[in-house]
Structure 1
Amino acid sequence: MADSMDDELSLPKATVQKVISEILPKDLAFAKETRDLLIECCVEFIHLISSEANEICEKEAKKTIAAEHVVSALEQLGFGEYVEEIQKVAQEHKEQQKSREKKQSKFDQSGKTPEELQAMQEELLRKARERYETNAELQ
């Protein structure tokens, strides 16, 4: 049971390995045990920040941890040097979310119901099948 909990509280090893390989010089190796230790440290760091942010959130009688709570947690735990970069990343994320919300799918833009779209697709397939059968008969 503890192993399944450990798996749930981990980071994808391939992702960590990719980050490590992007940071380290190409001629430097990173042992598997060291990677696993780094993953454990990252998980512990995330847990520490999350717990502190949760406490801040609860003190404010909020039900959702916001980016501001994470920033406050970092500052209270002595990681203030990360705040500027985190705020920049949070702002970039907000901008990406806004642009995603503005984009509509082709289905939404069509103004047709899913049933109408399915009927159109079935009609196109029927016509294509007829053309195929006509061409097969001619040959």
Structure 2
Amino acid sequence: MEPMDIVGKSKEDASLPKATMTKIIKEMLPPDVRVARDAQDLLIECCVEFINLVSSESNEVCNKEDKRTIAPEHVLKALQVLGFGEYIEEVYAAYEQHKLETMQDSLRGGGGG
């Protein structure tokens, strides 16, 4: 991925693919709504910060259980601890759907990526 493909100040900054994030943002809004580039960049940075927050808390939950690998249950617990408990059911459903699709892809011999 080229540095211009991500939002961030340098190559070393953690970020997300700008084109993918822009597509997601547009899919979530009515077709007649436009989003300024600065607003898109801000939304993407908020997503990065959220991922950092959940990852950090997931790591703490994992460490408290003396585990070395963050598992889905650690992420769900982190969401609860951070006050996002109302999203756990939807997140878990998305995770289960992802597992199902991944399994179906592997059964078809697809690479999945």
For normalisation by structure 1, the TM-score amounts to: 0.67
Larger radius of gyration: 1
Q: Quick one: which of 61, 85, 91 aligns to 1:80?
A: 85
Q: How does 1:1-139 map to 2 (within 5 A)?
A: 3-6=10-13, 9-104=14-109
Q: Secondary structure at the match of 2:31?
A: coil
- Unaligned stretches of 5+ residues in structure 2: 1-8
For the aligned residue pairs, the C-alpha RMSD in angstroms reads 1.7
More helix by share: 1
- Unaligned stretches of 5+ residues in structure 1: 106-139
Structure 1 position 99, deviation (Å): 2.8
What amino acid sits opposite 1:102 in the alignment?
Answer: L
**CA spacing shift, 1:91–1:3, aligned 2, 3 Å:** same
Query: Aligned residue pairs: how many?
Result: 102
**CA spacing shift, 1:94–1:26, aligned 2, 3 Å:** closer
Q: Secondary structure at the match of 1:5?
A: coil
Moved over 4 A (4+): none
**CA spacing shift, 1:96–1:58, aligned 2, 3 Å:** same
